[in-house]
Amino acid sequence: MQKFSTAYVMYINTKYKRTGSLFEGKFKSQYLNTDKYLKYIFSYIHLNPLKLINKNWRTSIIKDNSKLEKYLSTYKYSSYSEYIEENRIQSKILCKQVFPNYFPNGNQFKNEIKDWISFGDNMQTTEALPL
């Protein structure tokens, strides 16, 4: 990642005649060594768009869960719709078979995401996972 990042920054700096860093912080990574952690990350990624409408959605006491769910299902830059089994033109580029089958159907995935929306930071399923 360091080589890629350095090359990319050099390219952008040369192309736009600029100097300095392009990214805010250092690259961080965490090895996904358990199914539990992978499942958590999968949900985390699909919940990220909620930060666009409410950056504190996880810790808010009062939240409109139906509004958050609707936003997720209409956000076009996410694969959420495919996992709740709604077909979109973008479905052609998604290969769901490469990911473990944690959610055999759309309702189970939808319920997992609803639990995260409802309980936010109080979700106990992660048991102190990193992040």
pLDDT in tens, 75-85: 988 889 888 88
Report the C-alpha gap between 28 and 45 in whole angstroms. Answer: 15
pTM of the model: 0.70
Nearest Cα neighbor of 115 from 106, 104, 107, 123 is 123
Q: Which one-letter amino acid corresponds to residue 13? A: N
83-102 residue pLDDT tens: 888 878 777 788 888 888 88
Amino acid 121: pLDDT: 57
Give the Cα-Cα-Cα angle 12, 28, 41 (nearest 5 degrees): 115
**Rounded mean pLDDT for each run of 10 residues along the chain, 131 residues in total:** 90 95 83 90 92 85 83 90 83 81 88 86 50 48
Q: Which of 65, 36, 68, 40 is closest to 52 using CA atoms?
A: 68
Residue pair 72/78 in contact (Cβ under 8 Å)? The answer is yes
For residue 65, the 8-state DSSP code is: H
pLDDT reported for residue 123: 59
Burial class (CB in 10 A: 0-12, 13-18, 19+), 1: exposed
